[in-house]
Amino acid sequence: MKPLTTVQCDCLIAFVFFLALLALGVIFPSLWLMDTLTALFASGLLAMSLHLLVGYTGLVSFGHAAYFAAGGYVFGMVLQANGFVEAAGAWSVPLAILAAFAATGLFALIVGLICARLSEVYFAFLTLAFQMLFVSLIQGLVEFTGGDQGLVGGIPRPVFLGIDLTESWDRYAFCAFLFTAGVLAIRLVTQSSFGYTLRMVRDNERRTAFLGVNTYRVKVVSFTIAGSVASLGGVILAIFTSAAYPEWASWSNSGEAIFMIMLGGLNSFLGPLAGALAMRAINDVTLLYTTHTDLAKGVVILFVVLILKRGILDYAIDLVRNRRAQADNERAKALHRRDGERVDTREDADAAA
C-alpha cells in the first residue's frame, strides 16, 4: 500500500477526530457536555486561527476577536434579513455561513492590507484600533445590529440536509463539523509550502525577503485566512446562542485568545486548543468551590509562566521528547553510533525556533 501523503493523512486524522467528537456526544448524551464542547469549539477556533498569526507568522494581532464577531454578526444578519430565508429556503444556513466566511475574509483582507506593512508593536496596536472601530460600528448601527443589546430576536435556522440546528444533538454535530473543518484548514495551511514560508517570515523576515519572497503579501494572505477561519468560530457561537453580541468583539476576548495560546503552548499546533480547554477547566473547577475564578486563573498562569516557562502542551511534548531522546541515547550507546539516522521533524525545528 502506498504511504499516505501529508494532506491525506491530516484529512484522515480530522475525519477520525470528528467521529470521536460525535462518539463523545453519543457516549455521554448530556446536554451540558455538548453545550460546553460547543462553546469550546467557538473559543478554540478563535485561538487556533489566531495561532496561525502569533505562532506561525510571528504577527501578534490584538484585534482578532473582531473577525470572530464579524462571522457571528454576518451570519445572523443575513438570516434575519427580510425575505432571505423565504428566498433561500433550505439553503439559507449554508449560504449564510458562506457569506459570513467570505465577508469576514474581505474585512480581514482590507485590514491586513493596511496593517501588514507595520512592525510588531505598531501592528498590534493598529489591529486593536480596527477592532475598536468595528465595535463602535456595531454599537452605532443600531437598526442593523441592535447596538449594544446585540442581535436579538432569535436567528432563524431552517432545516437543511436533514439537520435541524434548533435540536441540541444536530447543533452539536454540526458545530463539531464546522470546528473540525476550521482546524483542518489551519492544519493544511501550516503544513503546506506556504506554511513554511510563514515560519520563515516569522524567524527572519529580512532574510526571507532576500530570497525573493514578497513578505508583505505572505502576511496579508495569512491574516486573511486567520480572519476567515475565526469567523467560523463566531458562526458556531451565533448558532449556539441564537444571537450575536458586541462583547464578542471586545478587546478582552482578543486578549483571552492570546492567553489561551500562551497557556496551551506557542509551539504546538494544538496548543491553543489545550489552552482553551485549560481556561475553561480552571473556570469550572474553581466554580465548584468558590466564585473567585480570577484568582485561580491568575495563579495557574503564574505557575505556567514562571515554573514551566512555556505552555502546558509544549511542556508535555518536551517532557516526552526528552525521555525519548534519553532512550535513543541509550540505544545508540548500545548499538554504537550510526550516522545520518536522526531525523528532526518539522515540529522539532519549530520548537527549537
Partner 1 sequence: MTHKNHTLTRRNFVAAAGAVGFMSLACPSILRAQGATIKVGMPTILSGRVAILGETASVGARMIIDAVNAEGGIDGRQIELVIRDTKGKPDEAARITRELINNDKCELILDAEASGGSFAVHEVMRDTGLYCIHSISEASALTADPANHVHWIFRSGRQGIHDAIAGGLYASGLAKNGVKRWAVCSPDYSYGRDTTAEFREFLSVFAPDVQFVGETWPKAFQPDYTENITNLLNIAPEGLYTCLWGGDLVAFFDQASLYGLFDQFQTVAVNMGDAPVLEAIKNLPAGIHSGNRYHKDVPDTQANEIWNTAFRKSGKLPTNWGWQAYTGAHFVVEALKATKGDTNRDKLADATRGRKIVSPHGVDGTVTMREGDNTLIGYAVGYGKTLSTDPHLTDFQPTPWDVILQHEAEWKERKKYL
Partner 2 sequence: MLNFDALSTCLGATSCLVTQVTTGLIIGMLLFLVASGVTLIFGVLKVVNFAHGAFYMIGAYTAYTTYAVVGNYYLAVVAGALSAAVIGVLFESLMIRRVYKENLLMQLLVCYAFVLICDDLVKMIWGAEYLAMGIPAEFRVPPIRFAGGVVPPFYIFLVATSLLVAVLCLLLITYSRFGKIVRAAAANATMVSVLGIRVPLYFAGLFGLGCALAGMAGALAAPRAVADAGHGLVDPD
Residue 209 near which of partner 1, partner 2, none (CB within 5-8 Å, type-dependent): none
Q: Residue 278 interacts with partner 2 (CB under 8 A)?
A: no
- Is 60 a residue that touches partner 2 (CB under 8 A)? yes
HEC profile of 211-254:
CCCCHHHHHHHHHHHHHHHHHHHHHHHHHHHCCECHHHHCHHHH
Any contact of residue 285 with partner 2 (CB under 8 A)?
no
Does 33 engage in binding with partner 1 (CB under 8 A)? yes
DSSP letter assigned to residue 3: P
Name which position in 22, 95, 181, 243 contacts partner 1 (CB under 8 A): 243
79 interacts with partner 2 by CB under 8 A = no
Q: Grid coordinates in use for 133? A: 472601530
Q: At what angle do helices 65-80 and 251-264 cross, to 10 degrees?
A: 120
**Helix extents (H) in the chain:** 6-27, 31-51, 65-80, 84-88, 92-115, 120-140, 142-145, 168-191, 193-203, 205-210, 215-241, 251-264, 271-287, 293-302, 312-335, 346-352
Segment lying near partner 2 (by CB under 8 A), choices 93-101, 102-110, 202-210, 288-296: 288-296
Q: Is 97 in the site for partner 1 (CB under 8 A)?
A: no
Compute the distance between CA of residue 111 and CA of residue 75 in angstroms, rounded to an integer.
20
Backbone angles phi, psi at 204, to 5 degrees: -160, 95
C-alpha span between 209 and 207 (Å, rounded): 5
First to last CA, the chain: 35
Binding mask 281-320 for partner 1 (x = CB under 8 A): x--xx--x--x---------------------x--xx--x
Bridge partners of 151, per DSSP, are 244
Q: Does 158 bind partner 1 (CB under 8 A)?
A: no
Binds 305: which of partner 2, partner 1, none (CB < 5-8 Å by kind)? partner 2
Q: Report d(CA 264, CA 268) in Å as an integer.
A: 8
Closest separation between CB of residue 325 and partner 2, Å?
24
Q: Report whether 296 contacts 282 (CB < 8 A).
A: yes
Q: What track of x and - describes contact with partner 2 for positions 320 through 349 (by CB under 8 A)?
A: ------------------------------
The answer to whether residue 82 forms part of the interface with partner 1 (CB under 8 A) is no
Identify the residue among 297, 308, 315, 321 touching partner 2 (CB under 8 A): 297
Smallest Cα–Cα separation from 112: which of 64, 182, 73?
A: 64
141: cell is 448601527
Residues near partner 2, by CB under 8 A: 54, 60, 62, 128, 132, 251, 255, 258-259, 262-263, 266, 292, 294-295, 297-299, 301-302, 304-306, 309
Residues near partner 1, by CB under 8 A: 3-6, 9-10, 13, 17, 20, 24, 28, 30-33, 35-37, 39, 139, 142, 147-150, 152-154, 166, 187, 191, 237, 241-243, 245, 247-248, 268-270, 273-274, 277-278, 280-281, 284-285, 288, 291, 313, 316-317, 320, 343, 345-347
